[in-house]
Every structure is written in structure tokens, then in C-alpha cells.
Structure 1
Amino acid sequence: MIKKLDKLILKAFIGPFIATFFITVFVLVLQFFWLYIDDFVGKGLDLFTIGQAIIYVGATVVPLALPLAVLLSSIMTFGNLGETFELVAIKSAGIPLLRFMRPIMFVSLLLCGVAFMFNNYLLPVSNLKLNRLKYDIINKKPAFDLREGAFYTNIPGYAIKVGKKEADDSTLRDIIIFEKDYNLQDNIIIARKGIMKVSDDKRFLEFKLMDGWRNTERGSRMSTNTEYIRLGFKEFKKVFDLSSLQLTKTEDSLFRDNYQMLSVRQLDKAIDSLETIHDFFRKKMMTELSSSIPFLLHLDTGYRKPTTEVAVKSSKDIIADTMFPGVNERVISQLSVIKSTLEINKSEYENRSKSLRLHKMVWHEKFTMSLACFVLFLIGAPLGSIIRKGGIGTPLVFAVIFFVIFFLLNNFGKKFVKEAVLAPGWGMWLATYILLPIGVFLVYKAMHDSQLFNKEFYFRTFRKIRPWFERIKISRGAPEPQ
């Protein structure tokens, strides 16, 4: 009986989980392309490149899609069982809530392990490939698109304008081509008609021009003697190189050292290296300031900072009045050097400190996003058994509410870590610290058949306390005794 019960629970869970997971991935991928739509449109990308982008984006959103899928499918599973009174039958047979939650609990723990392996090994590679591809696409020039009455300037060294394009998009009228000559003047080609053709390999653009003039000027900027040539032609062929419009592939090594591209082991090494910044900058400051403040090298535990009055009095006693202007200028110069050195080192120290926080943030994130599958299961399973509503309506509402809470807390934690408001150990676990007690509370309420989301319970409660409110209202409105 117990094996059949486990099969029943798992069968009710697997279907909604797979469906919600792929729907979530699809929605998050659409969100990414909606964000970068301006960088992708008009670049003439082929289907293979677009397919690569979809695969890489889909892989990067898996850590966020898994917890949401577990949450929604858990609510739907136990909501369906509660709506069909199967939960009532299971409880009447003496089986406690935790027992029929056990198979999905094991699945959620398994998903935590899978999520960690994915976050640690596959996600860095996906981030690396996606950032490299995104960099290439953003920096790619727009595809060749010649419009009537407008200059096209994306081919280096040329500006092309056509008066009219025929319906076949190949025959052109009133063509003007400016060819930039950096030695002297720009060369100009004017043609009444032309036929445009792109080579099969998309590397060259061929213009077959007819009935036109080619205007050139020869000479040197160092001389006033130049030669102007105006050449008429019946037919002229002009070839443009389109290699600058092609998608260039950047090496992966450009992004390899980014903190998002590292595994836990690589992050450990980077963090160990970055944690030496305190000793590094202390020694660096001692070395750079020793020429301006020599006594720094001789400080010991017996050193005691003199008061301002004593320092001023002793300096007046030592330095003659005639030497004060020169001494002041030298002091101001030394202080300017010290200030500049401190500002440069401060900026470098802040950058390295932020890099250390970001590395620790990603290190913790690999564990928090994995454990989120179990935390959201502890919320979804008892929540479904309490609301006892199946389908996609009510479960989706509750799933969205709790997922938005999880998403906001997770983003707030990241923001606090980046701005050094919270330590990475607190900021990245903020969502877990808050949602885990809520999950335990919901499990407790579900085990005791709570009516937390039953409107009839609140209606009956209000009916019981309504006479009490009426008596208070009457007593406050009654006239005072004479």
C-alpha cells in the first residue's frame, strides 16, 4: 500500500513539474530577448546563431526555473489531491502528512543536488558562452540595409545613397557613392541606374553602375597643384567588402576570469588570493609613503601621537621665521603627494574589496539557489494541502506570490552584498533565513488541518466576535448617566 501511495504522489507530481519547468524556462528566455531586443534586431543573424543564444540563455535561467517549478508543481499536486478528497482518505487511513510528503521531499532533495552540480559545472560554461556571444552580437554592425533617400555609412570608407529602389530590390536609380580618401579629397561616383548584388558567401557587395560619372582628385595635401579627373562611363563595376558587417567571434579567454564563469573550486582559489588585500595594501602604503613620511618605518608600540598644540609649539621653536614660507611650501607639496597616493590606493582597494565580495556572493549563490528547491517545496506542499485547490488558477496565484517574495529577497541580498551593507553569508542567505521558518510554519499548520485559507473559517470567526464589537459600539454611543 505504501509503495502504491508513493507512486500515486510521484505520478501526480512529475507531470506538473516537467510542464511548469519548461514553461518557466520559456518565459525567462523571452524576458531575456525582450531586454536585448534592440541589440539583436537588424543584425542579420542566422538561425544557427539565434539557436545558440536560445540554448545558452535557457541554460543560464535553469537555476531560477527549478525552484519555481518545484513550488508550483508541489502546490498543484497537493491541491489536486485535496480537491478530490484523496488527502482525506489518506489521513483517515492513519498516514500522517509528513509520510505522504516523503516521496516528493526526496525528489526535491535530489533536485537540490542536481541544481548544485548544474550551477557548479554547467552554469559557468553557459555564462561564458552567452557573454561571449552577447558581446559579439552587440558589437556587430547592422546588416546591409540600403534605404531610399538615406545615406548608408556602415561600410568603412563609403557613404551610399540611392534615390529609388525597384520592386526587385536589386535595380537602383539615382545612385551617389562617396568614397573617402584620407590623403586629399573625397571621390564621388554618380550613376543614373545600377544593379546591386550580394555575393553568395555574403562577403562582397557588387554594384553594376550604368550611365554615370566618376569624379576624382589627385595630388597631395602638401602641394597646391592637384589634378581633377572627371570620367564618364556607360558601365562601371564597383565592389564593396562586407567583412566588417560579419559576426566576429571573440575568444573565450576574454571572459574566463570573470567571477560568474568560475566553479566553487576556482572561486575558493580566487577568494584566497583576494583575501590578502589587507596585508598587501598595508605593505604597499608603507613603501609608497615612506619617502614622504619617513618616520612610518620606525613606528613601534611605544609611539604616541603628540597633541596639536605641542606639535605647533615645538615647530615654532625649531624653525626660524624666515624659513617658514619655504617649509610651508614643501609641506604642502608633500601633503599633495600623500593625498594623491592615498586616493589612488583607496580606489584600488575599493575595487579589489568589491571583487572579493562578488566572488563570495557567487560562491554562496551556488548553494542558496540549489537549496531553494527544498525550501520552496516546504512552502508549496503544505500550502497545497491547506488550500485544497487544484488546476492552474489558485496554485499559480500562491506560487507567484511566494516566488516574487523569494526573488525580491534574493535580489535585495545581492544588492546589499554588492554595496557592502551585509556580509555575503547574510545577504545571499537572506531569502532562505526568511522563507524556511515560513515553510516550517505551513507544515505545522497542515499537519493540524489548519483552516488558514478557508474563508468559511474567517466568516464564522467574524460572526462570533461581531456581537462583541456591537456592544462596544453601543457602549461608546450611550449617553453618560446623570
Structure 2
Amino acid sequence: MILIKYILRNHFAPFIFSVLTLIAIFILQFLMKFADRLVGKGLSTWVIIKLIAYNLAWMVVLVIPMSVLVAVLMAFGNMSQNNEITILKATGISLYKMMLPPFISSIVIAILLVYFNNHIYPDANHAARILMEDISRQKPTLSLVPGVFSQDVPNYSILARKVDTQKNELEELTIYDYSNLPKVNIVTASKGKIYLSRNQKKLIMDLINGEIHEADNSNPLEYRRLRFQHHKIAMPADQFTFEQSTPGGPRGDRELGAQDMLKIVDSLEVIFDKTQQNLNKKISQLAGNNLITTKSFLEDNLFSKYLYVRVNQRIKADESSILNVLYSIDYYKKEINRYWVEIHKKYSIPFACLVFVLIGAPLGTMTRKGGFGMAAGISLVFFLIYWAFLIGGEKLADRGLLSPFWGMWSANILLGILGIILTVKSAREKITLDFSFLTKYIPKSWLKPEEEYENN
């Protein structure tokens, strides 16, 4: 029991550190990717925090398996470096028993990740998509350039010759108001302020010392001029205020749990079978009736030209009908494959936690290095291999060139076999792998002091 606690304690700190580090990297990458869609739209800090929180779901799905691999590599690397593995083997404890605690822990993590993939991840993805659509519809805040007409507000054209952006004060204003056609109002003012109303629905122009010139295009003889000392204009500000839509509406395949997708797949397979039956029926009708009808039409010399045109039209119509059915079959088949890919993915990625324990433990024992730099480097190589298989399998499965099962599980199967081979060899023999030549490519800040000393 003490040994189990000791081994798990060696895994816990590297696992938490890896999770936090990788999530920070993913968040930074996310912000760099979507910065151009967020900057200049007047979004509050709370909206940005919610967007990041919703996108943490897909980050967690990727980070957890990779963190398991890093933690196992670091834990067993440290134990091997400190000769603890050798001591434990000398007391009769095999590598298999040492791997049992992290392997059982990885099973628990995988089960929790499956639950996360089916219940939390879909809702978070749905909320993130809706929020991102709301942000994309949001226009940038009103920007006034001195001496240039701004037409950001619908039905208004605004000119300010002097603009104080810090105080929102304007001077020498000219405003064309087209909101009440055919009447057109031209408003001039010496000074003014611009701000949003309390409910963020209206853009208020608070004007001082000016005139309102009102003309009616339908009646050229009518003209009015009003002078004012203080006047306010309320303009629509819907395009400058952010409103978040309520969750709901149709969901994509990554916004559904496995059970919901299985129901959709069942419905699609029923439609697919009916479409295939419809195709077989059409082909049998064409093979039986239409060829006989065509032959009888062409036997009549008197109406041969007319009948030839009619037959051609009928053949083209039948050809078009069959092509439509074939396109429908192809579409339903691709949709079924697409949903099956997502269903298998919800279970294959969590299962990778178990596979990475089988790979990480023997590699950590062989390398005899427990630093984060070495563990991160080896983990990155295996995770890139795993992800290449996963993405390639998904593309091939979506196109119907590979079954969804093999597309999503081939990486686990191949790396699992490799992990079993490495585990058996490491348990039976003393194998040491030297990756010291890689340390010159790793930042020195990632290395432990003793590792840095050894490389100098």
C-alpha cells in the first residue's frame, strides 16, 4: 500500500504541472488565432472569459492523454534515475506490479474523460459556437475620424471636424438624418458629446448651439429651420452593442453525445436503406419496361423522329432520377460515416490514456531521465504520431476509404502493441536508451541542474 501511494504521488505532481502548462499553451494559441476577430469590438472581459472557458473543453480532451504520458515518463524516469526501479526489482517487485497503480489510475481518468466527452464537451462546444457567431456579427465600435463622414450608424451620416476620443467630445458637427424619408434633416452644432444609453440600445448625440434644417423631397416648397441651444439625437446602436443568443437550435456532430448521435445514425441508416431500395426499383423498371417501350416506339417509321425525341427525353429524365438517387445514397453514407467517426472518437481518445501508460513506463525506465524537457520531447513525438493517425483516419473515414472504427482506433491498436512490446522487453531485460543528444535542442530552463551540468 505504501509503494502504491509512493508511485502515485510521483505521478500526481507531473500530471498536474503538465495539464496546467499544456492548457496555458493552448489558450495562448487560441487567443493568437482568434485575436483579429475579438479586437476592436468592444467586448467585455466577462465575454472573453466565457469564450475561453467554453473552448477549454476541447483543450481538456487533448491535454489529458498527453499529460498522462508526460507524468508516466517523468515518474518512471525519476525512479530509474535514482535506481529505485533496480532496488524494487531486487526485492522481487516486477515492472508489471509497478505499472499497475498508474494503469488503474489511467482507467479511472479514461472513464471520467468518456463522461466528459458525452455530457460536458458537447454543451461547451455548442455554447462556444453560438458565442463565436454572436461575436462575428458584432460590428466594431463607432469610430469618428476628424473631417471624414462616418456612415457606421444606419440612416445617419456624421461629420466632426474635431474629435476628443478620451472625453468623447466633438466640435463643428454636421449630421445628415435619413431615418424619416422622404424628409431629410441636416443638423449642425458647434459642440457635442457621444455616448451609449444605459440599456446599450441607443447611441446618444448630445449637441450644443446648433441648427436643424428640415427638407421634404416630396414637397420642394416646404423647408424648416430650427435653432437650439441644447438638443439630443437618439440613434440605433444595435450594431455596436453585444447581445448573446440563448442556447438552442440545431447542433453539429461535435455538439452531441454518443447516445444522441446513435439515434441520428439509426434514422440515417433507415433512410439509406429505403433510398437503396428505391434505386433498385428504378433500375428494375428501366431494365424491364423502358427498353421494351423504346424498341416498340422505334419500330414505327411514321412517327420515328417524334418518338425518338420523346424516348431521348424519357431516358434523360430517368438518368437524372437515378443520378439524384445515387447522390442521395452517397450523401447519407458520408453522414453516417461522419457521425460514426465522432462516436468512436469519444472513446478512442480516452482509451489513449491506457496506451500511453504502456508506452511511458518502459520508456521512462529505459531513458533513466526524469526531467520535464526529456519527458515533454518524447511525449510530443508520440502524440504527434498518434494525432497524425487520428486525423488521417478521420479524413479517410469521412471519405468512405476506411471504416470509422479503423480510422479512430488504428493509432491506439498500433501504439498499444508497441507499448506491450516495450513493457515486456523492459521487464525482462535491462535496456537503456540514450537521448542525451536531444538535450541540446531543449531550452536549458526545462532541464534539471544536474542534467544541465552533464551536458556541459
* TM-score, normalised with respect to structure 2: 0.86
1:261 to 255, 263, 277: 255
Matched, 1:412 2:406: no
2:177 is aligned with what amino acid? E
Unaligned segments of structure 1, at least 5 residues: 457-482
1:368 to 343, 348, 353: 348
State the Cα deviation string for residues 60-107 of structure 1 (Å, max 9, x = none): 321111101101111111111111221121122221111111111111
User: CA contact under 8 A between 2:41 and 2:138: conserved in structure 1?
Assistant: yes
User: CA contact under 8 A between 2:184 and 2:217: conserved in structure 1?
Assistant: no
Structure-2 change in CA distance of 1:312 and 1:56 (3 Å): closer
Structure-2 residue corresponding to 1:128 = 126
1:82 is aligned with what amino acid? S
The CA distance in 1 between the partners of 2:91 and 2:109, in whole Å, is 30
Deviation at 1:39, TM superposition (A): 1.8
Structure-2 change in CA distance of 1:455 and 1:184 (3 Å): closer
Matches within 5 A, 1:323-402: 323-402=303-382
User: CA contact under 8 A between 1:108 and 1:374: conserved in structure 2?
Assistant: yes
Structure-1 residue corresponding to 2:273 = 279
- Higher mean C-alpha displacement, 336-345 vs 88-97: 336-345
State the Cα deviation string for residues 284-303 of structure 1 (Å, max 9, x = none): 5589x6xxx9x718x7xxx6
2:285 to 296, 300, 309: 296
2:373 is aligned with what amino acid? G
Structure-2 residue corresponding to 1:446 = 426
**Identity among equivalent pairs (%):** 28
User: CA contact under 8 A between 2:341 and 2:404: conserved in structure 1?
Assistant: yes
Structure-2 change in CA distance of 1:209 and 1:276 (3 Å): same
Matched position secondary structure for 1:75 = helix
2:433 is aligned with what amino acid? F
Structure-2 change in CA distance of 1:182 and 1:265 (3 Å): same
1:319 is aligned with what amino acid? D
Structure-1 residue corresponding to 2:4 = 6
User: CA contact under 8 A between 1:175 and 1:190: conserved in structure 2?
Assistant: yes
Matched, 1:242 2:231: no
The CA distance in 2 between the partners of 1:445 and 1:406, in whole Å, is 22
The CA distance in 1 between the partners of 2:378 and 2:148, in whole Å, is 54
The CA distance in 1 between the partners of 2:280 and 2:388, in whole Å, is 44
- Higher mean C-alpha displacement, 362-371 vs 435-444: 435-444
Matched position secondary structure for 2:157 = strand
The CA distance in 2 between the partners of 1:164 and 1:343, in whole Å, is 65
Structure-1 residue corresponding to 2:97 = 99
Matched position secondary structure for 1:144 = coil
Matched residue count? 436
The CA distance in 2 between the partners of 1:417 and 1:63, in whole Å, is 21
Matched position secondary structure for 1:117 = helix
Structure-2 change in CA distance of 1:161 and 1:89 (3 Å): farther
1:238 is aligned with what amino acid? I
Structure-2 residue corresponding to 1:467 = none
The CA distance in 1 between the partners of 2:47 and 2:275, in whole Å, is 45
Structure-2 change in CA distance of 1:229 and 1:197 (3 Å): same
* TM-score, normalised with respect to structure 1: 0.82
2:69 to 60, 68, 71: 71
User: CA contact under 8 A between 2:297 and 2:307: conserved in structure 1?
Assistant: no
Unaligned segments of structure 2, at least 5 residues: 437-456
Larger radius of gyration: 1
User: CA contact under 8 A between 2:367 and 2:435: conserved in structure 1?
Assistant: no
Deviation at 1:260, TM superposition (A): 1.8
User: CA contact under 8 A between 1:188 and 1:214: conserved in structure 2?
Assistant: yes
Structure-2 change in CA distance of 1:285 and 1:146 (3 Å): farther
Matched position secondary structure for 1:159 = strand
The CA distance in 2 between the partners of 1:108 and 1:328, in whole Å, is 72
RMSD between aligned residues? 2.9
The CA distance in 2 between the partners of 1:312 and 1:336, in whole Å, is 13
2:155 is aligned with what amino acid? G
State the Cα deviation string for residues 184-229 of structure 1 (Å, max 9, x = none): 4754434343222333333322212234443443144xxx856454
